[in-house]
Structures are given as C-alpha cells and as structure tokens.
Structure 1
Amino acid sequence: MKWEARLIHINGESRIGVVFEKNPDTIARIRALKGSRWSYDLRIWHLPDTEEYRIRFRLKLKNELLPSEEGFQAIEKFKKYLRSKRYSENTLKTYAEALRSFLVFYNTKPITSITNEDVITYNNEYIIKNRLSASFQNQIVNAIKLFFRTIQNKEIDPELIHRPKREKKLPNVLSKEEVKQILEAPINIKHRAMLSLIYACGLRRSELLNLTLNDIDSKRNVLIIRQSKGKKDRIVPFTGKVLTLMRTYYSFYKPSYWLFEGQGKGEKYSEQSLQSVLKQSLEKTKITKPVTLHWLRHSYATHLLESGTDLRYIQELLGHNSSRTTEIYTHVSTKSLQQIKSPFDDL
C-alpha cells in the first residue's frame, strides 16, 4: 500500500492522518487498524497518535532524538548484514526500525558498553511505559539479540530479557460447508481457482502468488512450493477436483509465467487484489465471520486432522519447522469432542 502520513489535529486531539490511493483493499486495511476513523470534514483517514503508529508510518517520534553517529553506522551495517543473509525487505525494515528505537534511547552511551541491564531498562522505561504492544516488544528483543550477536559479536542473554507472555489464541476454523460456500461464490474462474488452491493445498497467501507454471507436476500429481517461509521447498498432493479446476482455469487464461497473473501479461497477481477476491466472495455468502485468507489454511489443516491424517504428515504439508506449531490444530478439531457425552444428557 502506497501512503503518505502526517500529523493532524481534530477537536484538539493529535492524530496521524494517512493519505492513500482510494480502493476497497486499502480502505479495509486502514479500517482494520485499532482506533482508525474517517474525517468527513478533512476527507482523510486518521489514527491515534501513538509511538507504535509513528514507527509504523515512519513519522518522527514524540520528543525524538537521533541515534549517535556510531548508532547510524551500526544500523547501516546491520541492514547490510540482513540483506546479505537474504532477509525479506519487510523483516529488514522492522528490525532496522526496532534497533534504531533502541539506539536512540541510548544515544549518549557507547554501543560496546551496552549490557543486558540496559536492555531490561529500555524494556521497562520505554516499551512498557509507552504501552507498546507485546508483538512490538518481541520484535525489539529479536532485533537487539541478532544485532549484538552478529554485528557486535556479543551475546545478550535471552533469559535476562523480559519478553511478554505469548497470547495463546486458537486458529480460526471454518466448517466444510462454509468453505464450500466461499469457494463456490466467485463466478470468475480465476478467482475460484485461487481460493480453491489455498484451501486444497493449505497455502499461505504469498505461496499462492509466487507459484509459477513449472510448480505444477501433473504427472506426479504434486504441487511444488519453492522457497517459502524459512527458505524451504516442500511438495503437497495435487489431484482430483483441484487439478481439473486448474486445467479449466488454464484453458481460459493461459498464463505465461506466474500461475496467477495480474492485469498485464507476465505480471504477478497482487496481494491486495487477492484480498479483494475473498471479500467479494464473502459478500455473496451468508457468512458474517471476519474471515481472512489464512482461515482457509487453518481449515485445511483441521479438516485433515479430523479425517484421520497423522499430525506428522500435516506438519510436512504445512511446512512447519516444529511439531508444536502443528499441534495447535488438535485444540480446534471437533472429532474427539463429538465423542464426549455431556452429563446434562443423562439428567
């Protein structure tokens, strides 16, 4: 999303105004941010003036100081390291901004003299004091640890850094009937094929959009997902109805390189357009849940588990590093729960 942010005042309150090219996708993304509002007078979307939103929209922080010259050089060196290790640009920006925030806090202290105690002080006196989110706190800790280990050749003891407790949220899962409604809603065969493939193969959004024609091996009946999260390749079954659907889609659109192309030939389909496809599909159903594309992946994993697929295979299909990540689906599967009889039934 291309945007321009600036500070504005509404009814005497400082707010962050965000200007962007108007379309349903970007409006939905801004609207989803906590505290967002639309000003009819100024004709602009605006957000609470918080430290977190200032960092997110790259505005000057309140009473902001700058890093020392040593700090500037350290940040640039850190960014070069991240690029050399092929970190994504999003991760690079997140880690660089997190490190910048930390080095601003200690802009009068030599980096070589920073200790674990300084990290704890920053955690308490800046992150917690300013009520920044737990996810932002974790990003800060990760960035600081990586910076000191790789650039400063100095270990920051993770046991001494106070991390927030992780929220234990269950994945959102749709019933098979709800999934069917969503997948059958699009009239456009490309839209139907994209949503169907996410569910049929348990794909992440980026994995779908990065597929090329060469990633379908119809002779072996597999789909090859290349260099996904963690720079890993994996294969998933690709048979039956989804293969038939994809052949129909190909005969209509005949993509040249990317499996799903945008408006121009050879142009990759955009994330915003894919989000819009799901939104339009939901509007045609009676489903009122705040469904996201990732819900289809969660539903794929849960439905596999409920049909008796071994958890180890589901881990491989989803591309999870740890079995603990996959085990969360045992908490949302209803297969075992349905076998439990409530004592209420015996009254």
Structure 2
Amino acid sequence: MLEFYFSYCGVLKRLRSGALGGEMDRLAEHFFTLGYKRASAKIYLSRIARFSQFAATRCGRMPIHQDVVDSYLCTFTTDSPRIGAASALGHARRVAPERFIASPPKVDDDPDTPLLTSFSDYLRKVRGLEPTTREGVLLGGRRFLDWFRHHHPGQDLEALTAEHVLAAVEHRLSLSATTGTRTAATSHIRTFLQFLCWAGHHDQDLDRVVPRTPHWRLAHLPPRLAWDDVRRAIDAIGATTPVDIRDRAVLLLLATTGIRNGELRAIQLQDIDWRAGEVSVRRTKGKRDRVAPLLEETGAALADYVLRARPKVDSPYLFLSFTPPVAPFKCASPVSRIVRKRLRHGGVELGRVAGAHLLRHSLATQLVKQRRPINEVADLLGHRSVNTTALYVKVATSQLAEVALPFPGGVA
C-alpha cells in the first residue's frame, strides 16, 4: 500500500525499516481508508517513519515503551512539530497497539482524587447530569476543596462548619462578574455539600447555609436574528459543492425545527421519516425524545444532501465532516463554525453569541410573533415547562402593547 503514496525504491526501503517498518503498509491503508488526502497521508507516514528510525536505535524490533515516545517528543524544540509528531504517533498506536507498551499508571499525589471521583459518580448515577453539566459542577466542588485545603490545611472535612462555607461562598462570589456565574457558583457549592452529607463525609446538611443569589432569568432578551436575516443567509448558500449542500441542509434544519447543536449531531439516517415528513430528535437535553416536523424545503435539502453530497462511508449519522478522517461531528464547535460562516456570508452582523442556539432563539421569536400558541412552541423546542418558553414572549412587543392596561390617571 505504501506504493500508492511513494514511488522511489530508496524511500520505500527507508520507510519499511525501523521499529515500525513492518506496520507501515497497514498505516498507509489506514490513512487511505479514512479518506485522507494523498499529501496529508504522506506527511503522516513520513513523521511515523522518522519516529520508527529513532525507536530502532533505542529498542530495535522490541515493543516500544512509553519512555521512548516521550524521549522522541522531547527532541522537538517548538510546539508545532511536536504536536504533529504526537498526532502521527496517535495513528500508529491505533493501528498497531501491540507494538507499544503503556507506561504504568502514575500515582496521583492529590489526596482528594478519590473523593472527587466519588462525587463525579454521584452526579452521574444519582443526579443524572449530562457530561458537560457534570464537568461544571465537578469543577465547582474542586474549587471549594482547594479553598478549604488552602485556608484550613490539615483539617478533615468533618471539621467543616457553616462559617467555613460562608467564607468560601464569599470568596467565590468575589471572583464572579455576572449574576449567571454567581448563581452557578453557589449552586455548585450547594450540590457538593449535599453530596458530602449523602455520602457520609459530614454529619450536617450544610447546603442550607449557602445563600441564594438573585438571578432574574427573564431580565434580558434572548439573542436572536430577524427572520429576514436568517432567510437571506440560507438563500446565499449555493448548491455547487458538497459542502454547500450540506451546510444549507444544516441551516435549514436548525432554523425550521429549532433543534439544539447536540441534537443535530445525534441525528441518524434512520431517524428521518421521509414519507411522514418528520425527524425523530433523540438524546435531548430534557432526556425525552420528540418528533419535529420537516418543512418541504427542509426535507428537499436533506434529501439532496443524502443523495448527492453525503460521503459514502459506513456511518449511521446524518451529518458528516468532509475533512479527513470523514466522521460524524464529535463536538459542538464544527456546527457552530458552519452557522457563523454562513451567516457572515449572508451579510448578517453577528454579536457575541453566534451558533446553532442563535437560530433556535430566532425561530422561537418568529413563532411567537406569528401568534402561535405558547404550548405549541414549547413542544417544538422540547421544553418541559411552558415557563421556559415564556422568555420569548417578551420580544413580541406588538402583542404586549395590545394587552397593556391604561396608565392610571392618564388619557383613556
């Protein structure tokens, strides 16, 4: 398989020598299968070959110890080559894991690691929090522990008092700049203290000591776009390249169904009911599957993408990245970049918030302005409570003006 990328006999001989020489053809097939461009695959293979020569001087044909990998990466004096080499070696590990010996697990010097691990399990199994939310709460618990260890070194958590809790809360609030971050900080401390009592690390329920910080959820208008701007951005997307076809389908699906970023990434081909014109939305924030209707234009854009543009790979997911290796979107950033790119191309001025949720806010605002029932909007967005959807009623200024009462003593 190496002959597909290299033609000179001397180069092929060099590539097939070294500690990983016997795996180079498998690696070449690996990059070909993943759809890497020829030039990119050659760069990766060359990086692996250089490491292979280095490892041969240290361990010959024996399995490669992690110390050899670390020593090789330390030979680079700048970040970019080191990162590129580490990325290439990551592919080598995945293709030939038997050629590498993992280092023994390092001993963690942090005495709070078992406690935080138990706290993470509590958040996942008892509270049922999603990974992203769990990370934020876990960070809040770690910060509380760090404060306690710093200000009261050597003391056990059983010695924790209400005075300690109030002092820790005061410290965290002094570092918070907005009402949202202040509310999150106190909520995370409260959750951690509940865990300490639940797990038997403290005999008092100290979460009641944590003060409630004022945060008015409906105090601000949601970021949104005028529907004409959304329409102009979608119309500005061409249909000449596979990327254009995919991006148009992405924006139409986000703008007409109001699904979230993660929900879009989780959609599989089997979730689309083409005859009924519906898409099943799974793995939602509220842990409740729902069905969203597909407008005719959105359904046509999705069909065009599946038939003409979607990469021919064995993946159940609907939307795929065109950048090798071709795979589903693993995180929210690629989808947000697509939205920002297409909105800017359509001449839309973007503020601080620009992503899939901006289109969700814009759709909800448009539906409320069209006087659609609030419970219908809540069902479309997947809100458990109508109170969550009530945020968008604030932007319907014309309807609010109609229900405004006359000012006492004013002109009737």
- Fold shared, TM-score > 0.5 on shorter chain: yes
Q: Are residue 135 (structure 1) and residue 180 (structure 2) matched?
A: yes
**Larger deviation, residues 216-225 vs 187-196:** 216-225
* Paired amino acid for 2:343: L
Residues 157 and 335 of structure 1, relative CA distance in 2, 3 Å threshold: same
Please point out which of 153, 174, 180 is paired with 2:231: 180
* Aligned counterpart, 1:302: 365
* Paired amino acid for 1:114: L
Residues 254 and 78 of structure 1, relative CA distance in 2, 3 Å threshold: same
Q: Are residue 333 (structure 1) and residue 333 (structure 2) matched?
A: no
Whole-Å separation in 2 of the counterparts to 1:159 and 1:319 = 34
Q: How much does 1:102 deviate?
A: 0.8
**Larger deviation, residues 113-122 vs 223-232:** 113-122
- 1:286-325 matched pairs, under 5 angstroms: 286-290=347-351, 291-325=354-388
Question: CA-to-partner distance for each residue in 1:154-178, whole Å, 9 max, x for gaps?
Answer: 5345575242434622112222211
- 1:46-61 matched pairs, under 5 angstroms: none
Q: How much does 1:143 deviate?
A: 2.5
Q: Are residue 163 (structure 1) and residue 210 (structure 2) matched?
A: no
Q: How much does 1:140 deviate?
A: 2.9
* Partner SS for 2:205: coil
Q: Are residue 81 (structure 1) and residue 81 (structure 2) matched?
A: no
Whole-Å separation in 1 of the counterparts to 2:174 and 2:191 = 24
* Aligned counterpart, 2:36: none
Root-mean-square deviation (Å): 3.1
Residues 174 and 103 of structure 1, relative CA distance in 2, 3 Å threshold: same
Whole-Å separation in 2 of the counterparts to 1:219 and 1:213 = 14
Q: How much does 1:84 deviate?
A: 3.4
* Partner SS for 2:197: coil
Whole-Å separation in 2 of the counterparts to 1:116 and 1:219 = 61
* Paired amino acid for 1:242: T
Question: CA-to-partner distance for each residue in 1:310-347, whole Å, 9 max, x for gaps?
Answer: 10111111111221110111101244257699xxxxxx
Instruction: Determine which structure has more spread, i.e. the larger CA radius of gyration.
Output: 2
If the length of structure 2 is used for normalisation, what is the TM-score? 0.60
Asked if 2 retains the 8 angstrom alpha-carbon contact of 1:75 and 1:96, the reply is yes
Question: CA-to-partner distance for each residue in 1:255-307, whole Å, 9 max, x for gaps?
Answer: 64111011357611253332222232233233223243312111111211222
* Paired amino acid for 1:84: K
Asked if 2 retains the 8 angstrom alpha-carbon contact of 1:123 and 1:162, the reply is no
Asked if 2 retains the 8 angstrom alpha-carbon contact of 1:68 and 1:104, the reply is no
Q: How much does 1:181 deviate?
A: 0.8
Question: CA-to-partner distance for each residue in 1:17-52, whole Å, 9 max, x for gaps?
Answer: xx999xxxxxxxxxxxxxxxxxxxxxxxxxxxxxxx
Q: How much does 1:74 deviate?
A: 2.0
Please point out which of 156, 159, 165 is paired with 1:110: 156
* Paired amino acid for 1:74: L
Whole-Å separation in 1 of the counterparts to 2:110 and 2:307 = 59
Residues 308 and 131 of structure 1, relative CA distance in 2, 3 Å threshold: closer
* Percent of aligned pairs with the same amino acid: 24
Residues 243 and 129 of structure 1, relative CA distance in 2, 3 Å threshold: closer
Aligned length: 278
* Aligned counterpart, 2:316: 257
* Partner SS for 1:106: helix
Q: How much does 1:224 deviate?
A: 1.0
Residues 115 and 199 of structure 1, relative CA distance in 2, 3 Å threshold: farther
Structure number with the higher helix fraction is 2
Residues 312 and 160 of structure 1, relative CA distance in 2, 3 Å threshold: same
* Aligned counterpart, 1:145: 190
Whole-Å separation in 1 of the counterparts to 2:208 and 2:373 = 34
- 1:192-203 matched pairs, under 5 angstroms: 192-203=248-259
**Larger deviation, residues 293-302 vs 193-202:** 293-302
* Partner SS for 2:387: helix
Residues 120 and 274 of structure 1, relative CA distance in 2, 3 Å threshold: same
Whole-Å separation in 2 of the counterparts to 1:313 and 1:115 = 48
* Aligned counterpart, 1:345: none
* Partner SS for 1:105: helix
* Runs of 4+ deviating beyond 4 Å: 157-160, 337-341
Structure number with the higher strand fraction is 1
* Paired amino acid for 1:196: L
Question: CA-to-partner distance for each residue in 1:183-216, whole Å, 9 max, x for gaps?
Answer: 1222211001001100110111111111111111
Please point out which of 283, 289, 292 is paired with 2:344: 283
* Aligned counterpart, 2:288: 232
Asked if 2 retains the 8 angstrom alpha-carbon contact of 1:202 and 1:318, the reply is yes
